[in-house]
Amino acid sequence: MSNSPYIIEVTEENYQSAVVEQSRQVPVLVDFWASWCQPCQMLMPILAKLADEYQGKFILAKINTEEQQALAAQFGIRSIPTVKLFRNGEPVDEFAGALPEAEIRKFLDKHIPRESDALVEQARQLLLQGEAEGALALLEQARASDPANGNIDLALAQTHAATGDIGKAEEILARLPADLRDKPEVRTLQSLLFFEGLLAKAPAQEELVQRLETDPDDAEARYLLAAHHAVNQQYEQAMDELLQLMKKNRNYGDDAARKALLKLFDILGDDPRVPRYRSRMMSLIY
């Protein structure tokens, strides 16, 4: 048995306390292994190294499936190594096979709080209170202490966007690693920046309304008016204008209205209005 305080041998007798209860305090990584399994033997020293390196930010729990067959059956283990991560008494993620160390680090970092994340949360609260400069200062401090934390760059981009520095926000988003670029909050911010960018040199909303009163077929005015509505969080008005533009001039800006609608859907996420407006959009396509 390992002498590390961060590694535990788990049996039926101590499973409840070592895995279920302990996972309510700190993530528990459960490694299902067997002595005859060569990939298991390759994986174990990597997991042990990481357990010591992370210094208690997670606990490594080892379950020998030959000796603890009831536990293996309980979790339906059919191949080994299988590794499950427990939080708050329940398995929340897993991987199978002997992954490389870098992949295991990525797996762990999705679930293990980092000290810099606390600074990010403080910065978000300052931003909500309108203290953007203080938020930026905290985020720069966080990035200096933990440059590998991509959440910091995302928060920096959001903060710069909130202060109106669209170019800086876009620059930060462009350097995000690939695994972060697909996050819903990144797509949402990119879509918001898209509409902000449209308005950088656009006429005022009142002027666009007057243009449309004079000429209802003014596609540019309708498109930019939709962007104003989007930036002002008047999402239904924005979608209505874009649908109207699709009806009147589908070819405007290389199908710009449809593309802008898709960006609004990204912003709205699970909002119940999205299926309704998506259906209306699709009816104009087919």
pLDDT beyond 90 at 253: yes
Q: Quick check: 1 pLDDT over 60? A: no
Q: What is this structure's pTM?
A: 0.62
Asked whether residue 210 falls in the same domain as residue 160, the answer is no
CATH number at residue 67: 3.40.30.10
What pLDDT score does 2 carry?
A: 62
Residue 161, both tokens: 């966007």
Give the model confidence (pLDDT) of 224-243 as tens digits: 999 999 999 999 999 999 99
pLDDT tens-digit readout, 124-173: 999 889 899 999 999 999 999 888 788 899 899 989 988 889 999 999 99
Backbone phi, psi, residue 37, to 5°: -90, 110
Question: Does some domain include residue 189?
Answer: no
Q: How far apart are CA 95 and CA 240, in angstroms?
A: 45
Which sequence positions are flagged as catalytic?
37, 40
Q: Is residue 198 part of a domain?
A: no
**Residues 6+ positions from 151 with CB-CB distance below 8 Å:** 116, 117, 120
Whether residue 45 is preceded by a cis peptide bond, meaning omega within 30 degrees of 0, is no
In a domain, 2, yes or no: no
Each residue's pLDDT tens digit, 94-130: 999 999 999 999 899 888 877 888 899 999 999 889 8
- The CATH number covering residue 267 comes to 1.25.40.10
Residue type for position 125: Q
Domain of 62 in residue numbering reads as: 7-109
End residue of a domain, out of 109, 127, 142: 109
Q: Give the chain's length.
A: 286
